[in-house]
Chain A
Amino acid sequence: MFRKPWRLLCIAVVFVLGAGACGSETSDATGPAVDGPQPTIAVDVSIDAKGGQNVQLTTTNFAFTPENVGGEDVANEGYVHLFVDDNDPVRVYSDWVHLSLAPGDHEVRAALVTNNGDLYDGGEATASITVPEPSGEGHSHGHSADPIEFVGDTPEMAVTVTPDSAQGWNVFAEITNFKFAPEHVSGDNVDGEGHLHLYINGVKVQRLYGNWWHIPELAGGENTITVEANANDHTAYAVDGELVSASATVVGSGDAMEMEDGEHNGEHGDEHGGDEHGDDSEDPSDALALDVGYANGDITGVDGRVEVKLGQTIMLSVASDIAEHVHVHGYDLFADVGPDKDGTLMFVADVPGVFEIEFEDSGVLITELEVR
């Protein structure tokens, strides 16, 4: 009498295993197939009056998608590889980019690539530029010592740095009430217009004409990435005498890294909560933003355990009415948090298991990450 159930059991086991195997079979990544119109690119390089060169990229049937870089290829999406004299390419995530080339003749070649960096057929263009020898004081930027006051609505700025799936880091500088004006750069100031300056450890490395920038590599240890808003004439913007800037600290150790929030300008301390997006997403390359608030002893913004895909990037932001230390167990990441300072941490969830995120001093549990 026990034979039949055993046979059934075997069949059931085979069925379960088979179903499991089918489930793990996922579709291969597709190449840069373009069904619609072919994307095109044109490139134009001009000398910037205050130093360096401005590259304008004109694309058709193409969208810059820095947020999807490293993810699945989508037709007519991606970014641009900018080659100068056949050096290693620079990643460009926006229509305009600023270069600082040495005097002499240069060839600038722009190539449209997919989210995974595959070349689009025919998506290439080149331009030549002759950079003159610096003439006297001409090269100096003339940043005036005093920042200029921002007159319009207070801009809010935040910067997040995420590890790129292939190489380096992607910087996302979010700024409100601000318009990128590469076409007016080094010209007259218009309130609310301008560009950003990117600093790594206090050294200015790049002028930004868009929200995104790619940093191919950083020195080991802690790196402070600072983004500052500047007017067309390169003078820093300020609100009530405080620079409009934000920074993040990136510690590169393995895949995990820590990011501490710098100062934000403008009013702060608004309610963070109820904002948990991306939780239901299937693609581990989508970052999960967890915005948690702690006020009067209550946690808001998370409800029970948070389920996370193995390999997913977590962007944790904690606002608190008390000074505390946010501790992500297992990954062993810490961030300071206080009434005037949000604690933010960014890391790749690459270890499976259940991990507590808690306030280290009071032992208050913020949430648990279930990584699988």
Chain B
Amino acid sequence: MLLAQASLLAHGIGSRGDLPLPFWQFAWASSVAIAVSFFAVGEWWSKPKLAEAESGKSLAWTQTPTRIGELLIRAGSLTLFAVTLLAALFGSTDKSENIAPVAVFVALWVVVQGLVCFFGNFWTAISPFETIGLAFDRIRSTNGAKAPSWTHWMAPVAAAAFLFMELIHPDGAEPRNIGIAMAIYVVITMAGVWKWGREWLGDAELFAVHFGLMSAMAPLARDSHGAIRLRMPLSGLAKLDIGRVGTATLLVVLGGVTFDGLGESELFRDLIGRQSGWTEAWYRLAGIVVVTAAVSGLYLVSIRSMARITGQSRPILANLFAPSLVPILFGYTIAHYLQLAFDEMQNFVFRLSDPFGQGWDLFGGADGVVNFNLVSVDAVAWCQALAVVIGHIAGILVAHDRAVGLFDRLDALRSQFVMLFVMVLYSILGLWLLLNA
């Protein structure tokens, strides 16, 4: 067997790969997933329940943070963002000494993405783009200008570009490359905000769009009065209206994380042989395109066949299916990046003491050494398998809940069997990737 140059994130983030899941764990997880799926579709509730549970109960003691508090949070996140951008552009070119790679690929992309699934969409509260947008609001008026809807496609395009840097570009973790990419993204985003206002961010800014969708499954959400509500997990997905842009974003990210698992498998390496540099990158690019096309194709084909079976229109069915991508993606993300997050967030904290790699020691942690034994690898393996299975089951539940609300029982069942087939396929694929990790 040959090995290609394995890539951890962006060829430089994370120094440890996950151990392959033992086969018996794979077998158990898959069979539980399949058994529970069939049981769920046949036996579970026949009236939609999630939508009711969505309102939840208000935690009155969590009123909107005071203006001072909000200001402090925004100032802190904006500072961190500025430090990251400056470090990427002007700091040490050693990716292990510069804070930018771990800040962007781990702290922002993995950890914030994971946390919004539990704590709701706190990204809007810390987004530097929002903060700058608030400042813009003080100095100019957009006169209610509406952004043309094509600009919303920036979200999936930015997702693809981000994944290209993360998974394909051979030097995607080099601070300068990160800095240039960040600068381009900031300029485009800020131009959009200047022209169309902050509301545009929620429609077109990658992190706002994607984290917003992921946070719909969280048991916590902020209501219109600013208080935090405790609700049933997943219930936020019941009313979520995911348009084409949102679905495309989810599918691109799902394709990326699926490819990340596949790209590290022996199968893929045997396929492309021992390559490095840009030669390998082109192979990997082909790989991610094929995987994303396959994942998306599966989605589109199942929508089509559901439309044929139930006679319902495709947009209705797409809204039925798309929310279940959220927990699936959540499961995949946990499965692939949990260990990385535990290891590299320690690094992130150390780097805070010396963000530019200049030998500073601001908070006394610059010389920290990652404790790889913070969480046992067995515990992580269990979390990985469980995450895929739970994500899968959650996806089925959400879709089922919607189906029984939209269709009569027979159509609901019919539509569900297609869904079930696709979901089982997704989850076995997800688990199989862990097997080959």
Residues of A within 8 A of B (CB): 2, 5, 16, 299, 303-305, 329-330, 332, 351-356, 358, 362-365, 367-368, 370, 372
Nearest chain A CB to B5 CB, angstrom units: 4
CB of B3 within 8 A of CB of A352, answer no
Q: Does B11 contact A (CB under 8 A)?
A: yes
Q: Does B1 contact A (CB under 8 A)?
A: yes
Contact of A330 among B19, B24, B372 (CB under 8 A): B372
Contact of B15 among A304, A330, A362, A364 (CB under 8 A): A330
Cα(A304)–Cα(B267), bound, Å: 11
Some 30 contacts from A to B, beta carbons below 8 A apart, are: A16-B24, A299-B274, A305-B3, A305-B266, A330-B16, A351-B16, A351-B372, A353-B16, A353-B18, A353-B19, A353-B372, A353-B377, A354-B18, A354-B19, A354-B437, A355-B15, A355-B16, A356-B15, A356-B17, A358-B5, A362-B276, A362-B277, A363-B170, A363-B276, A363-B277, A365-B5, A365-B6, A368-B3, A372-B19, A372-B377
Nearest chain A CB to B26 CB, angstrom units: 13
Nearest chain A CB to B113 CB, angstrom units: 22
CB of A356 within 8 A of CB of B276, answer no
Cα(A330)–Cα(B14), bound, Å: 8
Contact of A329 among B15, B170, B437 (CB under 8 A): B15
Nearest chain A CB to B229 CB, angstrom units: 35
Residue of A nearest to B276 (CB): A363
A363-B170, A365-B274 are known contacts; what are 17 more A-B pairs with Cβ within 8 Å?
Answer: A2-B39, A304-B3, A304-B266, A305-B266, A353-B17, A353-B339, A354-B16, A354-B17, A355-B16, A355-B17, A362-B276, A363-B276, A364-B5, A364-B274, A364-B276, A368-B3, A370-B19
Q: Which of B3, B6, B170, B372 counts the most A-chain CB atoms under 10 A from its CB? A: B3
Which chain A residues lie closer than 8 Å to B5 at the CB level? 358, 363-365
Cα(A354)–Cα(B14), bound, Å: 11
Nearest chain B CB to A351 CB, angstrom units: 4
Q: Does B157 contact A (CB under 8 A)?
A: no
Q: Which B residues, 358 to 377, have Cβ-Cβ distances below 8 Å to chain A?
A: 372-373, 377
Given known contacts A354-B18, A354-B437, A304 and B377 CB-to-CB distance under 8 angstroms:
no
Cα(A198)–Cα(B2), bound, Å: 41
Nearest chain A CB to B23 CB, angstrom units: 12
Instruction: Give the 5 A-B CB pairs with smallest separation, nearest first.
Output: A354-B17, A304-B1, A353-B16, A329-B15, A330-B15
Residue of A nearest to B96 (CB): A332
Nearest chain B CB to A226 CB, angstrom units: 30
Residue of A nearest to B171 (CB): A363
Which chain A residues lie closer than 8 Å to B276 at the CB level? 362-365
Residue of B nearest to A19 (CB): B24
Nearest chain B CB to A258 CB, angstrom units: 15
Which chain A residues lie closer than 8 Å to B3 at the CB level? 304-305, 365, 367-368
Q: Does B406 contact A (CB under 8 A)?
A: no
Which chain B residues lie closer than 8 Å to A303 at the CB level? 1
Nearest chain A CB to B11 CB, angstrom units: 7
Nearest chain A CB to B197 CB, angstrom units: 44
CB of A363 within 8 A of CB of B11, answer yes
Q: Does B8 contact A (CB under 8 A)?
A: yes
Secondary structure at the B interface, as helix, strand, loop or mixed, is loop
Q: Does B4 contact A (CB under 8 A)?
A: yes
Cα(A305)–Cα(B276), bound, Å: 17
Contact of B6 among A330, A351, A356 (CB under 8 A): A356
Nearest chain B CB to A91 CB, angstrom units: 31
Residues of B within 8 A of A (CB): 1-6, 8, 11, 15-20, 24, 35, 39, 170, 266, 274, 276-277, 339, 372-373, 377, 437
Nearest chain B CB to A365 CB, angstrom units: 4
Nearest chain B CB to A215 CB, angstrom units: 25
Given known contacts A363-B277, A365-B274, A352 and B1 CB-to-CB distance under 8 angstroms:
no
Which chain B residues lie closer than 8 Å to A367 at the CB level? 3
Residue of A nearest to B270 (CB): A304
Which chain A residues lie closer than 8 Å to B373 at the CB level? 351
Cα(A356)–Cα(B35), bound, Å: 38
Cα(A354)–Cα(B16), bound, Å: 6
Which chain A residues lie closer than 8 Å to B377 at the CB level? 352-353, 372
Cα(A351)–Cα(B20), bound, Å: 15
Which chain A residues lie closer than 8 Å to B18 at the CB level? 353-354
Cα(A370)–Cα(B1), bound, Å: 15
Residue of B nearest to A358 (CB): B5
Q: Which of A299, A330, A365, A370 counts the most B-chain CB atoms under 10 A from its CB? A: A365
Which chain B residues lie closer than 8 Å to A304 at the CB level? 1-3, 266
CB of B4 within 8 A of CB of A356, answer no
Which chain A residues lie closer than 8 Å to B277 at the CB level? 362-363
Nearest chain B CB to A320 CB, angstrom units: 15
Cα(A305)–Cα(B1), bound, Å: 9
Nearest chain B CB to A22 CB, angstrom units: 15
Which chain B residues lie closer than 8 Å to A364 at the CB level? 5, 274, 276
Which chain A residues lie closer than 8 Å to B8 at the CB level? 329, 356
Cα(A351)–Cα(B339), bound, Å: 13
Nearest chain A CB to B384 CB, angstrom units: 13
Nearest chain B CB to A113 CB, angstrom units: 33
Which chain A residues lie closer than 8 Å to B4 at the CB level? 365
Nearest chain A CB to B340 CB, angstrom units: 10
Which chain B residues lie closer than 8 Å to A365 at the CB level? 3-6, 274, 276
Cα(A351)–Cα(B277), bound, Å: 28
Which chain A residues lie closer than 8 Å to B24 at the CB level? 16
Which chain A residues lie closer than 8 Å to B437 at the CB level? 354
Cα(A304)–Cα(B277), bound, Å: 19
Q: Which of A351, A362, A372 counts the most B-chain CB atoms under 10 A from its CB? A: A351
Cα(A364)–Cα(B6), bound, Å: 9
Cα(A82)–Cα(B294), bound, Å: 70
CB of A352 within 8 A of CB of B19, answer yes
Cα(A329)–Cα(B17), bound, Å: 10
Cα(A299)–Cα(B1), bound, Å: 12
Cα(A288)–Cα(B373), bound, Å: 23
Residue of B nearest to A369 (CB): B17
Nearest chain B CB to A329 CB, angstrom units: 4
Nearest chain A CB to B130 CB, angstrom units: 37
Which chain A residues lie closer than 8 Å to B19 at the CB level? 352-354, 370, 372
Residue of A nearest to B170 (CB): A363
Cα(A304)–Cα(B20), bound, Å: 14
Nearest chain B CB to A359 CB, angstrom units: 9
Cα(A356)–Cα(B39), bound, Å: 43
Nearest chain B CB to A348 CB, angstrom units: 13
Residue of B nearest to A254 (CB): B369
Which chain A residues lie closer than 8 Å to B11 at the CB level? 363
Cα(A356)–Cα(B9), bound, Å: 13
